[in-house]
Each structure stands twice: as structure tokens, then as C-alpha cells.
Copies of this chain bind each other. A is one copy, B any other.
């Protein structure tokens, strides 16, 4: 066995809720080691242990404590970058880091990397962006149904966790004994990205499926775990057992390639009538599985169910790492 040299990783937005998840998930990763941490103004120039108030259960990993926080701009001492930055900052920073890497979710779209390199004049680097954290959970559940039966309409109502808004994010006075029926830009993102993610890659562009998507988004008083009540209309008449079977048997490239962060079962179908629940199911498959329950026929569309996934793992840091693993397996990332 030949010892493999690890890829050197930088994390943008390292002090935030998702940045800390990256650090936690990469602590003992066989293919990556953290060599650079970057964050916004106040943290720069300080060792990470001083710059960052660690907000996850468990301690800050020893090996990042002495890394000095840098500005989120090149050059960073690393082979690739995982980014978790707020919207506006992200746009600029991601552009500047174009020669490095920011990974993404669905495998056949990786072909776009070649087009990107060509269009932007990149030599080796490329950008792969992460979808919206709710869209990931929803699309994970839709993917096997769409592939097998064709989804023509999808009506989604989300109940999203507080960590999705980052830190400090939602004020506790808004969260306690309350639900907020608004998350800025979220409904539009879910509606648009669901189509993109389920689309096909043709000549360097994505052709969305013939599908309508409606999303209503709510913030609920839950720390982690985005949940979605979903109805689907299908092209084909299928039985409820077909639906359950398609969901439960779903696997894809990450499982076939046995990627390090790939959950054994990307979708876990539960039959109890009160599951999934955020507190009980968000950590399934080390936070990388999506749990689906309450699969039932629907009066208005064809079928309905509830899907749940961990928003900062499956929906953010874990998704990015998984796809970096995929990029290595497919030869896009080489040392």
C-alpha cells in the first residue's frame, strides 16, 4: 500500500457555523488536511484558537488552534478551498478563488468544469458551488422519484433549523415560542435550484426538466435539521410501494465509489408514523443521510412525504467534502 499525500485544504468563513463544521468533519479525514483558515476582518492575524468562539459540542481540534487566520483572498497555502461565506462576500471571494476549488453536488454536471475552464481561461482550477442547504435535502428525496417516474410538479413546505441562518443569526426572541414564515431569498432559491439540480447537462449548459416547483419556507425553533413536507405529481402512475422502493434502494456514485464521507444509505425510509424528527434523525449516516417518512397518497398531487436532513452537514460542509472526494475519484483533483 502506498501512502497517499493529503490534499492541503483552506477554509473560507472558518469561524462561522458551517466553517466550524468543515473543521470538525475534516479532523480525521484520510484525504484532506487543513492548512489555511480565512475569515472576515476582525479575526485576521490571530491564531484560530483566539479568533474563533467554538460553538459546536466537543472541543476545537488541536491541529487548527495555532493556524493564523488570513483574509479570504489569494494566495492561501492550500491545494483547494472550501468556502462558507455570506452571500455578498461569497460572490467576490469565490470569483477570486477561481483557480482553486469550491465543490458541488451532482456528478454528471462535473462535465461543466471543462466548459468553465475553457470559458474563463482557467488552467487547472475550477469552481464548484454548493446548492442551497434546503434544496439539497429536497432534491436528494426527489432524485430517485424523478429518475424512475418523472416528477412534473413539486410542492414543498419547509421547516428550517436556526443554524441555517448562521451565527448569531436568528434572535432568540424571534425563535422562542414562535415560527417565522420567511427566510430571505429561500423560496426562490429552492424553486430555481431544484430545477437546475434535476436538469441535464447539454453542451455546457443545464437543461431543466419540465417541472413546476413551489416552495414555502418557515424558520422553526430547532437547532439543526431542515425538514420539508413534500407533495409530488408524477408522469407515470405508480404504486406507493414503487415510491418507497425507489427511495429506499437509492444509491449513486458516492456509494459505488465508496467515498469516505458517503453514507451507506443516502435515503433512509422510516415507517413509523411520527418520523422523521429533527432531534432523532438529523445525525443519521453521520449527518449525511436524508430520512424520509410518512409516504402517503395525496388528494391534490399524487404522493406526499416528509424529508429531513442535517443542514450544516448534508446541506453544507459534508456535501462539499463529499463532492471534493468525488472530484478526486474522477480525476479532476490531482496533486
Contact = CB atoms under 8 A, between A and B. Distances in A.
Nearest to A183: B274
Nearest to A162: B172
Given A154-B300, A214-B298, A171 B168 contact: yes
Contacts of A223: 173, 176-177, 279
A65 B199 CA distance: 43
Given A58-B283, A299-B191, A171 B181 contact: no
A214 B301 contact: yes
Contacts of A17: 173
B181 A275 contact: yes
Contacts of A111: none
Contacts of A55: 173-174, 280
A17 to B, nearest CB: 7
A58 B282 CA distance: 9
Contacts of A276: 181
B171 A216 contact: no
Interface string A159-192: 1001100011111111111111110000000010
A171 B173 contact: no
Contacts of A282: 57
A84 to B, nearest CB: 15
A19 interface: no
A44 interface: no
A320 interface: no
Given A153-B300, A173-B55, A300-B214, A277 B181 contact: yes
A293 interface: yes
Given A213-B300, A283-B58, A298-B214, A173 B181 contact: no
B181 A231 contact: no
Given A157-B157, A221-B220, A167 B177 contact: no
A200 interface: no
Contact of A216 (B157, B180, B278, B284): B157
Given A218-B229, A299-B214, A167 B159 contact: no
Nearest to A166: B173
A137 interface: no
Contacts of A283: 57-58
A318 B294 CA distance: 33
Contacts of A222: 176-179, 221
10 contacts: A57-B279, A58-B283, A163-B173, A177-B223, A178-B222, A180-B274, A181-B274, A182-B274, A212-B299, A216-B294
Interface of A: 17, 55-58, 153-155, 157, 159, 162-163, 167-182, 191, 212-214, 216, 218, 220-223, 227, 229, 231, 273-284, 293-294, 298-301, 304, 306
Closest 6 CB pairs of A and B: A168-B171, A172-B175, A157-B157, A182-B274, A214-B300, A216-B229
